């Protein structure tokens, strides 16, 4: 019981400090961006590496015909910091 109360009191004190502007809390986030270059491989072939297979799989997901599936994929991509890039040239 004492540990729980101490934790609650610590949270209250921390909130009070934040509200009066005496302390700043921040969280440093380390993120990496994954780019999936389009177009990807159309079909798997014997001898493809795991990276090539994953590239083809993710490229195929990007072209999902169902709008609900495409929206869900876009949501997941934004959550996991995955970006699709169209090939140039």
Per-residue DSSP letter, 40:
-
**Is 19 among the domain residues?**
no
CA distance 23 to 31: 25
Q: What domain range includes position 46?
A: 34-86
Residue 85: pLDDT over 60: yes
pLDDT tens profile 2-43: 343 444 444 444 444 445 555 666 666 667 888 888 888 888
**Is 17 among the domain residues?**
no
Helix (H), strand (E) at residue 83: strand 82-86
pLDDT tens profile 74-83: 999 998 888 8
The model's pTM: 0.55
The count of domains in the chain is: 1
């Amino acid at each position: 019981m004492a540990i729980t109360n101490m934790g609650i009191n610590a949270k209250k004190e921390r909130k009070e400090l934040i509200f009066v502007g005496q302390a700043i809390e921040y969280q440093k986030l380390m993120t990496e961006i994954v780019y999936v270059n389009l177009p990807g491989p159309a079909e798997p072939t014997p001898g493809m590496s795991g990276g090539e297979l994953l590239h083809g799989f993710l490229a195929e997901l990007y072209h999902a015909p169902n709008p609900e599936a495409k929206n869900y994929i876009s949501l997941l991509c934004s959550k996991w910091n995955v970006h699709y890039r169209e090939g140039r040239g």
